[in-house]
A = this chain, B = another copy of it.
Amino acid sequence: MSASTTSTSASATPVAELGRRAAAAARVLATASTAAKDAALLGAADLLVARAPEILDANRRDVERATAEGVSGTVIDRLRLTEAKVGAMAAGLRQVAALADPVGEVIGGWVRPNGLRISQVRVPLGVVAIIYENRPNVTSDAAGLCLKSGNAAFLRGSSGAIHSNIAIAAVLSEAVAKAGLPADSVVLVDDTSRESAVEFMQLRGIVDCLIPRGGPSLIAAILENATVPYVIDGDGNCHVYVDAAADLDMARDIIVNAKTQRPSVCNAAESLLVHSSVAERFLPEAATSLTGVELVGDERARALVPSMQPASDDDWGTEFLDLKLSVRVVDSLDEAISHIAQHGSGHSEAIVTSDIAAADRFCAEVDAAAVVVNASTRFVDGEEFGFGAEIGISTQKLHARGPMGLRQLTSAKYIVRGEGQTRG
């Protein structure tokens, strides 16, 4: 444990105590009106802007420490806040306030032969725990989504952003309290030791849902330690398959967009599969359009694009998150589907084709959160789906699969109404 970690832990409140506070707040939030939650969100947005100087001050301490510790430039970029970034956090809260409240939505209802009236209504989860890495904006974004969906936000950021996170969470708590809701609607764990992270993942009976926002080591820690229910926002090893019946201009535009528009995100394409009947016409031109992208491929792809390096066995399963793309020539739709079944991560998989039968088979047989026909994989996110905001993209099959917005931060409750019915 580093000296700096110890120093933040020294004054820290026990994690379980913080969790209990969040749980008490959650009971109040569960029946809070939409108007009260929206007022809290708008107040928090205003207060973030008003208090930007102290947030930026706190952030400067984190950035200085990271710089002194020789942390990489990319990580420091993510960590560093500016007035504009604080403004964007505030704008995010205002946007969430404008979204429909998912709580109370009647999911379904019916009457039983014995007269019992059953309805299923959407209710908050309760305490939503978020564990995340060095992005201080997650503190505000996650808290906003939790609040709107009637959940207490129980936040555990990394030690590297602790001063920024404390400053942001304090502002949010204050604004929420001013709006008449519990200050503990937003609770930040200020102990950033490894022990506290494990404890955070094991607060069964307190935490209703844990969502990790981070890389493979964080996911591994969750699988190893968590005893609370969780939803994993996993890798995206996304493929674009160019079918024999593809419009090749469309296919080129789609792979260029899916690979290069924002290569660092999970819904970017990492692998291109091309049907052998169109490979000769498609690949050389596509390679030209993908200038600046490192291409690695199988023998047949390399024969058509001489500059392409051989793909290693590992490349097929790797989420590069960078301007790098693996390329393979396949002889059939079946071969494409099998390749995806073997190497895909169940995130987003696209086919480009004009053949309705090929599209239908791809949609039915590819097992992923989203299958995309004739469009870029980059559309698979909460914003582009019209959810208004997202807390992550689930690659698991339970609870939520795909982009997670406000609805995915809720559970359901059955309400059964009778007139004295007893079971015979």
Select which of B123, B385, B397, B399 is within 8 A of A118 by beta carbon.
B385
Select which of B116, B229, B412, B415 is within 8 A of A379 by beta carbon.
B116
**Beta-carbon nearest neighbor of A228 in chain B:** B223
Given A223-B227, A372-B416, A419-B374: A401 and B411 interface contact (C-beta under 8 Å)? yes
Q: Is the CB of B417 within 8 A of A374?
A: yes
Q: Is the CB of A422 within 8 A of B126?
A: no
Given A229-B396, A397-B209, A398-B398: A250 and B420 interface contact (C-beta under 8 Å)? yes
Interface residues of A in 227-282 (CB under 8 A from B): 227, 229, 231, 247, 250, 253-254, 256-258, 261
C-alpha gap A162/B398 in the complex (Å): 30
Select which of B209, B224, B253, B368 is within 8 A of A422 by beta carbon.
B253
- Closest beta carbon of chain B to A293's beta carbon, Å: 15
- Closest beta carbon of chain B to A154's beta carbon, Å: 15
Q: Is the CB of B341 within 8 A of A112?
A: no
Q: Is the CB of B223 within 8 A of A420?
A: no
* A interface, CB within 8 angstroms of B: 27, 30-31, 110, 112, 116, 118, 123, 125-126, 204, 208-209, 223-224, 227, 229, 231, 247, 250, 253-254, 256-258, 261, 341, 359, 363-365, 367-376, 378-380, 384-386, 396-399, 401-403, 411-423
**Can you spell out 14 A-B residue pairs with CB atoms less than 8 angstroms apart?**
A27-B365, A116-B384, A123-B367, A209-B397, A229-B396, A229-B398, A254-B420, A261-B422, A359-B417, A369-B414, A372-B416, A374-B417, A375-B420, A401-B411
